[in-house]
Amino acid sequence: MAYIDELIEQGDHLFDKRSGLLSLWQTIADNFYPERADFTTVRNIGEEFASNLMTSYPIIARRDLGNAIGSMLRPTSKAWFHVRTHNYDQLGTEAKGWLQSAEERMRHAMHDRRSQFARATKEGDHDFATFGQCAIQASMNKEGNGLLYRCWHLRDVAWAEDAEGMVGTVHRRWKPSARELVTLFGDKVHDKVKTVLAKEPFKEYNVRHCIIPLDSYRGLKTFRTPFVSLYFDVDNKHLMEEVGLMSQEYTIPRWQTVSGSQYAYSPATVAALPDSRLIQAMTRVLLNAGEKAVNPPMLAVQEAIRSDISIYAGGITWVDAEYDERLGEVLRPLTQDTHAIPLGIDMADRLRGMISEAFFLNKIALPQPAGEMTAYEVGQRVQEYIRQALPLFEPMEIDYNGPLCDKTFEIMLRAGALGSPLDLPKELQGAELIFQFESPLHDAIEREKGQRFLEAKSMLADAVALDPNTVDIIDASAALRDVLEGIGVPAKWTRSEEVAKGLADKRAQQQQNAELLQQLQQSADIAGTLGTASAGNPQPSAGFGAA
């Protein structure tokens, strides 16, 4: 019981320390992600979203960036990650085949409908784009026959860093019903929950799940795993599950961090928040101005009006017949100056451009070629794209996709889904596995090799004109192989270096044999010519009969 009190106190401390951040997240969500705007308020089902906003453009900008993260970094149309080692090029066929098989099994398991990988990452992408972080839990499902991914609300998750700045301790709040608790934990639930189940099956309880490093564990059990997972009933101070884990189940990618805080920020919403507030205010003013310009307020003479003012189509307003029109019209529109409306529209358009730039929408697309461009100019445009897109894609690949793939690989390996550990090739035993990802940034970096190859070819042609011996400087075969791999040519389209070398040797031998045959034929032709000449012009023989 004392240890449960300690865990509850630790979780309360983390949640209380983060309470001030919830108001910022609520403000950001109100402006960019109204579906998630329930950090400090409770939303009712069916409540209208974004009823306080005048324009939807900030929401659309967030939506486009959130959708782009998944479509660009985890496309289902192609293999978006590869299992590799640091010495992958030196591995044998058996080791490479095992890695490719493991990669294929991982991809099928992750994209299986029951794993909910697409749903969890979709929610996580939009949390990441809006708040700069998300919380995704990867584990085995309750049947133990597949993976399960879930994205949890940032409001319900708090964490702490270890001495090395990595997320170590994670606490998650949860409010399941009595029926859910009994379904998941069976007889391990508190006796009060069992009693309530028959009468109030939908009564909710405050439950916490925390995963802590082993060196922070103070319980009675002995574990030899790096982490310990604990589920406990806060209301009844009852521990329901206590197991060891080989890795932290929660993946918490963080976009932009600042010193002294374990929580990150989204550089997109930080930059766009003031513009979002301004464009909402400007849109409201422009709507009012446009409404007044189309339906202007009316100026009426009070004593002369005998009915309600009817300015709708077909409406009639009755006036006093004795009113002298020389004193002015009884009913006339109030004169307004509408010349500033185009200026306001232009300012709003500029704000949309600023919000679009804040959300990197002008940087996530590859630059389009402008007319006739040289290889050097194309290379420079690609370099500029890499410099602009690097702050967006680099943390996503390293802190988002990387940990998700690492955890998936570890879970499947321990569950035997990647085959028996005894079947692991010797070259891979003890080797550190890494993941390489496909993304527009990676594609741009690799395709840049093609531009360099063309530049090198042009320079080499100029150099050969001056000195023919310079043709031997560049290994064209190695360069071409590297370029083909960089532009994404499938490996089965190319021959291995050994086969290519064998074909080159065979072709050289055939050429050598052909040259030898040609030389022999020339020698035979010369001999035949000499023989014919000797037969047509016999020479006198030396002897006594000679004249």
pLDDT tens, residue by residue, 247-272: 999 999 999 999 989 999 999 999 99
Question: Mean pLDDT: which of 70-79, 170-179, 355-364, 396-405 is highest?
Answer: 170-179
Please compute the mean of the pLDDT values over residues 387-412 and round it to a whole number: 85
Per-residue model confidence (pLDDT) at position 395: 78
Contacts of 158 (CB under 8 A, 6+ apart): 11, 14, 15, 17, 18, 170, 171
Q: How many domains does the chain have?
A: 3
167 vs 374: which has the higher pLDDT: 167
444 plus 330 within the same structural domain: no
330 plus 414 within the same structural domain: no
Across 105-109, 250-254, 424-428, 476-480, least confident range: 476-480
Question: Could you tell me if residue 301 is inside a domain?
Answer: yes
CB 385 within 8 A of CB 367: yes
141 plus 222 within the same structural domain: yes
Question: Could you tell me if residue 169 is inside a domain?
Answer: yes
Cα 383 to Cα 1, 356, 386, 454, distances in angstroms: 60, 22, 5, 16
Give the separation between CA 270 and CA 359, rounded to whole angstroms.
Answer: 10
Residue 127, pLDDT above cutoff 90: yes
303 plus 452 within the same structural domain: no
11 plus 127 within the same structural domain: yes
Burial class (CB in 10 A: 0-12, 13-18, 19+), 9: exposed
321 plus 435 within the same structural domain: no
Placement of tokens 């992750």 in the chain: 110
Residue 542, pLDDT above cutoff 50: no
Give the separation between CA 426 and CA 407, rounded to whole angstroms.
Answer: 23
The 10s digit of each residue's pLDDT in 432-459 is: 889 988 766 666 666 666 667 777 777 8
Question: Could you tell me if residue 312 is inside a domain?
Answer: yes
Q: Is 223 left (phi over 0), alpha (psi -120 to 50) or beta?
A: beta
pLDDT band at 376 (very low <50, low <70, confident <90, very high): low
Q: Which residue in 492, 484, 495 sits closest to 100, CA to CA? A: 492
Question: Could you tell me if residue 12 is inside a domain?
Answer: yes
DSSP letters spanning 183-211: HHHGGGS-HHHHHHHHH-TT-B--EEEEE
Q: Is 46 left (phi over 0), alpha (psi -120 to 50) or beta?
A: left
pLDDT band at 57 (very low <50, low <70, confident <90, very high): very high
Cα 373 to Cα 376, 386, 487, distances in angstroms: 8, 18, 19
pLDDT band at 375 (very low <50, low <70, confident <90, very high): low
Per-residue model confidence (pLDDT) at position 489: 62
Question: Mean pLDDT: which of 43-47, 129-133, 519-523 is highest?
Answer: 129-133
Per-residue model confidence (pLDDT) at position 517: 79
68 vs 528: which has the higher pLDDT: 68
Per-residue model confidence (pLDDT) at position 307: 80
Question: Could you tell me if residue 343 is inside a domain?
Answer: no
Count Cβ neighbours within 10 Å for each residue of 66-82 and write b for 16 or more, e otherwise: bebbbebbbeeeeebbe
Question: Could you tell me if residue 508 is inside a domain?
Answer: no
Final residue in a domain of this structure, among 221, 242, 264: 264
Residue 545, pLDDT above cutoff 50: no
Final residue in a domain of this structure, among 243, 264, 285: 264
**What is residue 133's DSSP assignment?**
B
Final residue in a domain of this structure, among 248, 264, 280: 264
Q: Which runs of E-coded beta strand occur in 460-499?
A: none
Per-residue model confidence (pLDDT) at position 544: 40
Cα 138 to Cα 103, 227, 276, 414, distances in angstroms: 17, 15, 35, 14
Point out which residues pair with 361 in neighbouring strands.
none
Question: Could you tell me if residue 190 is inside a domain?
Answer: yes
| Pairing relationship of beta strands 167-174 and 157-161 according to DSSP bridges | antiparallel
Per-residue model confidence (pLDDT) at position 543: 45
Q: Which residue in 484, 478, 511 sits closest to 497, CA to CA? A: 478
The 10s digit of each residue's pLDDT in 462-486 is: 787 888 877 777 777 777 777 666 6
Burial class (CB in 10 A: 0-12, 13-18, 19+), 531: exposed
The 10s digit of each residue's pLDDT in 336-347 is: 777 778 888 899
Q: What is the mean pLDDT of the chain?
A: 84
486 plus 423 within the same structural domain: yes
3-class DSSP state for residue 56?
coil
Give the separation between CA 218 and CA 332, rounded to whole angstroms.
Answer: 82
Q: How many CB atoms lie within 10 A of CB 351?
A: 22
Residue 315, pLDDT above cutoff 80: no
The 10s digit of each residue's pLDDT in 505-531 is: 788 888 887 877 787 777 777 777 766
Residue 460 half-sphere exposure toward CB, CA atoms < 13 A: 14
259 plus 301 within the same structural domain: no
Residue 77 half-sphere exposure toward CB, CA atoms < 13 A: 4
209 plus 329 within the same structural domain: no
328 plus 404 within the same structural domain: no
Cα 488 to Cα 272, 326, 445, 482, 492, distances in angstroms: 36, 84, 12, 10, 11
Q: In the chain, pLDDT over 70 holds for what percent of residues?
A: 86
Q: Is 475 left (phi over 0), alpha (psi -120 to 50) or beta?
A: beta
Question: Could you tell me if residue 367 is inside a domain?
Answer: no
Contacts of 446 (CB under 8 A, 6+ apart): 485, 486, 487, 488
Please compute the mean of the pLDDT values over residues 55-80 and round it to a whole number: 89
pLDDT band at 326 (very low <50, low <70, confident <90, very high): confident
Give the separation between CA 138 and CA 409, rounded to whole angstroms.
Answer: 11
Per-residue model confidence (pLDDT) at position 492: 61
Range of the domain at 198: 2-54+111-264
458 plus 324 within the same structural domain: no
130 plus 196 within the same structural domain: yes
The 10s digit of each residue's pLDDT in 169-209 is: 999 999 999 999 999 999 999 999 999 998 999 999 999 99
Per-residue model confidence (pLDDT) at position 13: 95
